[in-house]
């Protein structure tokens, strides 16, 4: 069997990341330089700061990824890079870097869709996972229910109409004084709370059964908090966090269950930053057991942004003959 070694680069948001992945599944290194501490000062990602930090870090992150893998640039068969969607300035750093390496070292270039990367994170630790399968991508920017019909071929069954699931976590966290990034903080305090304490809405959308909406839930939480403050009632942060998280979990599980039944899928995967949430993961696992389907999920470190997932996706694009030229550009609103 042929061995394809890919150097992957990811810089779409606030992580500068590089990885070496062999044959799409074998992760040899995975280096992530997180900017979270920097952006926490401002309560969210500041695009201009993100771009500048990527420029500062990218060379050293790539060098580390190659050295961790015990390989050199000359060993690489391709360079895979995220070219969208994401912050345009942040994406441009990775794209320009990848093009420079591709040109200088004469290595083929493959442009990768960020969401395709998140989905492909599942290939790394699950050698038996093969399309077709259903995947729920829940991140800070996206909430997509996707049917993966083949490698590189996707059918979007549903998407969010407003806020992404991770965005809702981040906004609610801010409202209850937990700060950025909200997801992990809400999960942590939710363990001390009662998920049934407050009944928040579970949004149903009449047409387009598989679409999501989280802005109503976010407003319900804000209204609840305002009501408590006006009536001088105490706010139990842990109960709000746990109840909000339960509402998101119920909606995600409900949509996934219906799609599994309608599309007769026997494998279901989750992906994206929110997929690292233990409560959501446990609920999905339980639902999959009830439905008799196999459940897949990446390790938490492969759920949030990383380059190994880009290397996995790039491999399947590469063997399908897809190549990018030196005219590859960042596409901030790239569609799947």
Residue 170 is a binding residue for ligand KG4 (CB under 6 A): yes
* Per-residue contact flags (x/-) with ligand KG4 for residues 298 to 327, judged by CB under 6 A: ------xx----------------------
**118 annotated as a binding-site residue:** yes
Among 6, 7, 8, 13, which residue interacts with ligand KG4 (rule: CB under 6 A)?
Answer: 13
Is 305 labelled as part of a ligand binding site? yes
Q: Could you say whether residue 183 binds ligand KG4 (CB under 6 A)?
A: yes
Residue 90 is classified by DSSP as H
Does 277 contact ligand KG4 by CB under 6 A?
Answer: yes
Residue 81 and residue 96: Cα distance in Å, rounded? 10
* CB nearer to Zn ion: pick between 158 and 166: 166
Q: How many CA atoms lie within 13 A of 253 on its CB side?
A: 20
**Rounded Cα gap, residues 18 and 60, in angstroms:** 10
Half-sphere exposure of 172 (CA within 13 A, CB side): 37
**Exactly one of 80, 84, 94, 272 binds ligand KG4 (CB under 6 A); which one?**
272
Nearer to ligand KG4, 15 or 97 (CB): 15
Q: Which candidate, 304, 305, 319, 327, places its Cα nearest to that of 5?
A: 319
- Peptide bond just before 85 cis, omega within 30 deg: yes
**Separation CA 194–CA 94 (nearest Å):** 43
Under rule CB under 6 A, residue 276 binds ligand KG4: yes
Give yes or no for residue 306 binding Zn ion (CB under 5 A): no
Please report where in the chains the tokens 């928040």 appear, as a residue: 200
Distance between CA atoms of 213 and 158, rounded to whole angstroms?
A: 11
Does residue 181 interact with ligand KG4 by CB under 6 A?
A: yes
Instruction: Compute CA distances 257 → 123, 159, 332, whole Å.
Output: 22, 15, 31
10 in contact with ligand KG4 (CB under 6 A): no
Tokens of 139: 């991140």
Report the chain's C-alpha Rg in angstroms. Answer: 20
Residue 170 binds which entry of Zn ion, ligand KG4, none, CB below 5-8 Å type-dependent: ligand KG4
Shortest CB 3 distance to ligand KG4, Å: 29
80 binds, among ligand KG4, Zn ion, none (CB under 5 to 8 A by kind): none
Alpha carbon distance 186, 174 (integer Å): 10
Which structure tokens are listed for 163?
């806020």
For position 35 contacting ligand KG4 by CB under 6 A, the verdict is no
- Is 112 within 8 Å of 95 (Cβ atoms)? no
277 binds, among Zn ion, ligand KG4, none (CB under 5 to 8 A by kind): ligand KG4
Which tokens belong to 311? 């290397």
Q: How far is the CB of 192 from Zn ion (least distance, A)?
A: 28
DSSP 179: -
Q: Which of 29, 33, 122, 139 binds ligand KG4 (CB under 6 A)?
A: 139
DSSP state of 184: H
141 is in an annotated binding site: yes
Nearest-approach distance from CB 84 to Zn ion, in angstroms:
12
- Degrees, nearest 5: CA angle 161-176-285: 55
184 touches, from ligand KG4, Zn ion, none (C-beta below 5 to 8 Å by class): ligand KG4
- Of 274, 305, 311, 328, the one binding Zn ion (CB under 5 A) is 305
Q: Which of 82, 139, 246, 306 binds Zn ion (CB under 5 A)?
A: 139
SS3 letters for 263-324? HCCCEEEEECHHHHCHHHHHHHHHHHHHHCCEEECCCHHHHCCCCHHHHHHHHHHHHCCCCE
Annotated binding site for substrate: 137-141, 170, 183, 187, 277
- Residues of this chain that interact with ligand KG4 (CB under 6 A) are 13, 139-141, 166-167, 169-170, 181-184, 187, 272-274, 276-277, 304-305
Annotated binding site for Fe cation: 114, 118, 305
């Amino acid at each position: 069997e042929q061995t394809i070694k890919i150097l992957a680069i990811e810089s779409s948001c606030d992580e500068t990341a590089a990885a070496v992945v062999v044959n799409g599944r074998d992760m040899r290194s995975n280096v992530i330089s997180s900017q979270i501490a920097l952006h926490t000062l401002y309560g969210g990602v500041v695009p201009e700061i993100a771009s500048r930090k990527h420029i500062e870090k990218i060379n050293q992150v790539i060098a580390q990824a190659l050295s961790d893998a015990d390989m050199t640039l000359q060993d690489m068969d391709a360079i895979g890079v995220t070219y969208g969607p994401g912050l345009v300035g942040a994406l441009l750093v990775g794209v320009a870097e990848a093009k420079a390496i591709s040109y200088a070292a004469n290595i083929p270039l493959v442009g990768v869709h960020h969401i395709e990367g998140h989905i492909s994170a599942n290939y790394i630790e699950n050698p038996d996972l093969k399309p077709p399968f259903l995947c729920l991508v829940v991140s800070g920017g996206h909430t997509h229910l996707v049917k993966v019909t083949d490698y590189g071929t996707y059918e979007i069954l549903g998407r969010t109409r407003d806020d992404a699931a991770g965005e809702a976590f981040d906004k609610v966290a801010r409202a209850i004084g937990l700060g950025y990034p909200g997801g992990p903080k809400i999960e942590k305090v939710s363990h001390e709370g009662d998920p049934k304490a407050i009944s928040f809405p579970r949004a149903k959308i009449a047409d387009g059964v598989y679409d999501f909406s989280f802005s109503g839930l976010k407003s319900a939480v804000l209204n609840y908090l305002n009501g408590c403050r006006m009536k001088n009632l105490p706010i139990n942060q842990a109960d709000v966090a746990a109840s909000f998280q339960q509402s998101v979990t119920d909606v995600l599980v409900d949509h996934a269950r219906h799609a599994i039944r309608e599309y007769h899928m026997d494998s279901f995967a989750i992906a994206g930053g929110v997929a690292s949430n233990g409560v959501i993961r446990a609920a999905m696992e339980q639902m999959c057991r009830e439905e008799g389907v196999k459940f897949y999920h990446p390790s938490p470190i492969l759920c949030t942004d990383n380059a190994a997932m880009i290397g996995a996706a790039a491999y399947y694009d590469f063997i399908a003959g897809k190549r990018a030229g030196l005219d590859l550009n960042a596409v901030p609103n790239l569609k799947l």
